Chain A
Amino acid sequence: MALREAARWAAHFRARLTLLHVLAPAVIPVSVTEMAAVYEVVPGLQERLHEELTRWIEAEVPEAVASDLRIEEGPVDLTILEQARQDQADLIVMATHGRSGVARWLLGSVTERVLRQAPCPVLTLRHRELPPEPSLH
């Protein structure tokens, strides 16, 4: 939904669109003494992710809009901010989950942190219904 809106804006302002996915540093134990990032353990995760995001772009972004895809690793909010600064982005588009209460404190704060520190305006869209749980990580 956020990507569709971003594509609308990009088309309207003839802007370039970058789809950014941040892999949070989720770690799992691989042996008694070792931890490893999920994406190092699950084979082909990165590739699958890349394919899926590419399909997503094909489905939602009209061909007239120049777009690219980027997958980064790191803390989600900081990575988004960092990429926006690097690219000198004019706009960040992201979805919010519209959570409240405790769930908001725990989960909904990525958008808020991005909002407060973004180097550019931020367009947020609320999810109408709860999104399905991400299956990849």
Chain B
Amino acid sequence: MWRNILVPTDFSGAARQALQLAVRLAPPGCTVHVMHVITPTESDPYSPVRLRPEGQARRRLPEEVTDELLQQLVQDVATDQVVVARAWRRSSDVIGSILDYADTVEAELIVLGTHGRRGLQRFLLGSVAEAIVRRASVPVLTVREHPACRRPSGTSWCPRTFPTTPAWHSVRRPAGPPTSGPG
């Protein structure tokens, strides 16, 4: 059904869930592209720089930290059947870079995690997902973050978010134990 799926990530739990879902949906031979946009500011609470111990992060370039986090993410979700490619872009225009990258890899689907913020927080932070939904020329699958997964670290598959019925369970999965799962 798809050959290329794009998953933009900010290394949050929501983005991780989106990636896990993308890998699960991807038919054999499909490439899942996971990409991060490094913004010039560190005010973003999900900036990779903030996810690494202070001292360590200071001495390293955001690119390095990003690369390492992406590698880790890919390792966590990789299966035998689906290729997960990683990439990052450095830009102040997060939405533009994501849409641009979607064009570049000819993504037929974008899978997005959203934090489900409300009120002022939503106004300030939650708009990347909404802007992509509005502007993307390909279908966008939005996964709302499960409350139990709000912590970016050590988050694994959240059983209740998805999937719940046989239809989704029939999604092709690799033989052997899943990399992460409810049970």
Residues of B within 8 A of A90 (CB): 162-165, 167-168
Kindly count the residue-residue contacts between A and B in the assembled complex, taking CB atoms under 8 Å apart. 77
> Which of the four size classes fits the interface of chain B?
20 to 34
Q: How far is the CA of A123 from the CA of B142 in the complex (A)?
A: 6
Of A18-26, A27-35, A55-63, A93-101, the one with at least 4 CB within 8 A of chain B: A93-101
**Contact A123:B140 (CB < 8 A) given known A13-B170, A115-B133:** yes
Are the CB atoms of B134 and A116 closer together than 8 Å? Answer: no
Q: Determine the distance from Cα of A122 to Cα of B110 in the docked complex, in whole angstroms.
A: 12
Question: Among A44-52, A68-76, A104-112, which stretch is in contact with chain B?
Answer: A104-112
The interface of chain B, by Cβ under 8 A from chain A, is: 1, 21, 114, 116-118, 122, 126, 129-130, 133-137, 139-144, 162-165, 167-168, 170-171
A112 touches B136 (CB 8 A): no
A-B contact pairs, 6 of them (CB 8 A): A12-B1, A13-B170, A13-B171, A88-B165, A111-B133, A126-B133
Given contacts A98-B135, A125-B139, contact A115 B163 (CB under 8 A): no
The answer to whether residues A121 and B143 also contact, given A90-B164, A116-B116 and a CB cut-off of 8 A, is yes
Number of interface residues of A (CB under 8 A): 29
Contact A116 B141 (CB under 8 A): no
A contact set with B: CB distance below 8 Å: 5, 8, 12-16, 88, 90, 96, 98-100, 104, 108, 111-112, 115-118, 120-126, 128
